[in-house]
Structure 1
C-alpha cells in the first residue's frame, strides 16, 4: 500500500467565509419569484447541500420548474458577486495550506457542494489553482451526505479510507465522511453548530488545533 495520505476539505464554511455571497444570491433567487427570502439561520443550515437539494429543503411546496428557475437565478447572482470580490479565506487557512503542501506524501483534495465553475473561479481568485490534486464537485455526484465524492477521491488516487481525513463545518460533511469510512474532523468556525457535528471523530476550534488533529490522525508532522 502506498505511503500517501490525503486531506480532503469542504469549501464553504471551512476554507472560505462565503455566507455574504450565499445570503445575497439566495435573496436574489427568492426575489426573482416574488418570494420572501428565508432567515439567515435557515439559509446557513442548508450550506453544503447541492443547490437543487437545498432549494427543495427551503421551499418544498414549490414545483420542480420553479425551484429549478431559482437555482439558475442563484447561480447567476452568486457568480456576479464572486466576480467582483471572492469570498475571503478564514484566518489561518492560507498558512495551513502552505504547511500541508510542504509535507512529502501528503495530498490535498476538495469535496464541495459547489459547481465546477464556481470552485474553479474561487480557487483562481485566491491563487489556489493546482493546489488540490482531487476536486469533487456537485456537478458530478449526488448531494452530500452521500459518500460518492469521497469514494471518487480515493479511487482517483488509489488510496484506502484509512489514509484520508475529511475536514468540514457541517453535519453533511461529517455524515458523508462516516458513510465513506473516512475519519471526519469538524470545524466550529463555519455554519453548523458544534453539537451538529456528532459524526466527527474530532472537533476543532481554530487552524492550529486543526493542524494538530490532522497530524495525529495521519501520523505526519505539521
Structure 2
C-alpha cells in the first residue's frame, strides 16, 4: 500500500451517534454499584478513553477494584441494551456516503482508532454494511488508551503509510492529542461529544461542522503532500 493515503476515523461521536446508549449504560452501571450516576455531559466527556481510564476520571476516589467493576458493569449493560432493544447505533448524517466514497478510491485506505471494543466496532460496521471499507481497526482492547499514539502507529504499520500521509479524524480532544503525538494531520468534528471550543484548544489542522465538508479538506491536505512528494522524486 506504499503511496496510499490513510484516513483514520474515531468511532463514537465521529462516525456513530451512540450517546443515548452510552449514557443509559453508564447510568445502569452506577446504579448497580449503589452510586449516583454522573451528569450526562460528564459521561460524554470521557468517550474515547478506555473504560478503565474513563472510570478513573468519573470516580477518581474509588478503589481500583471498584473502578474495574464499574467498567465491567458498563460493558455488560451496554451489551444488554443493544441485545434487548435490537437498537442500532445510528451513523451521523453523511457518514456512510463519505466512507464508501473514500474507500472506493484507489489511492486511499481507511482505518478506525477507538476506545470502543473490537466486538462493538465490528458489530456497528456490520449493521451498516461498512465492514469491507476498513483495512485496519485499532481499539483499546489491544493498545493503550488515547491520547497515546499506539493505535495510530499500528494503523500506519498495517496500511504501510507514513505519518505525513495520514489523517486522524475525531470529535474529542483525545483524538486530536493522539494525532499530534503520532505526528499526523488532524481533523476535528464538532458534531460529537466535545465542544468546538475544547477542540480548538488542540489546534487541529481543520475543524468541520458536517461530513460533506470532509473530502474537500482531505483533498487540500493531499495536494500539499503530492507536491512535496513530486518535488522529492
TM-score range, shorter-chain basis?
Answer: over 0.9
Q: 1:169 aligns with which of 165, 168, 171?
A: 171
Q: Describe the superposition over 1:118-141 as per-residue Cα deviations: whole angstroms up to 9, x where unpaired.
A: 111111111122221000001111
In structure 1, the gaps of 5 or more residues are none
Matching of residues 42-81 of structure 1 within 5 Å? 42-81=42-81
User: Are residues 1:87 and 2:89 paired?
Assistant: yes
Indicate the residue corresponding to 2:212 in structure 1.
208
Q: Which moved more, 1:15-24 or 1:63-72?
A: 63-72
| 1:23 match: secondary structure | helix
Whole-angstrom CA distance in 1 between matches of 2:81 and 2:184? 34
1:99-148: per-residue Cα shift (whole Å, max 9, x none)? 11221120010000011111111111111222210000011111100000
Which structure has the larger Rg over C-alpha atoms?
A: 2
* Alignment length (residue pairs): 220
Task: Give ranges in structure 2 of 5+ residues lacking alignment.
Answer: 225-233
Q: Distance in 1 between matches of 2:128 and 2:81?
A: 15
How far apart are residue 156 of structure 1 and its match? 1.5
Name 2:231's counterpart in structure 1.
none
TM, length-normalised to structure 1: 0.96
The residue aligned with 1:180 is: 182
Point out the more displaced range, 11-20 or 80-89: 80-89
Shift of 1:219: 3.0
Distance 1:63 1:130 in 2: 41
Which residue in 1 is equivalent to 2:30? 30
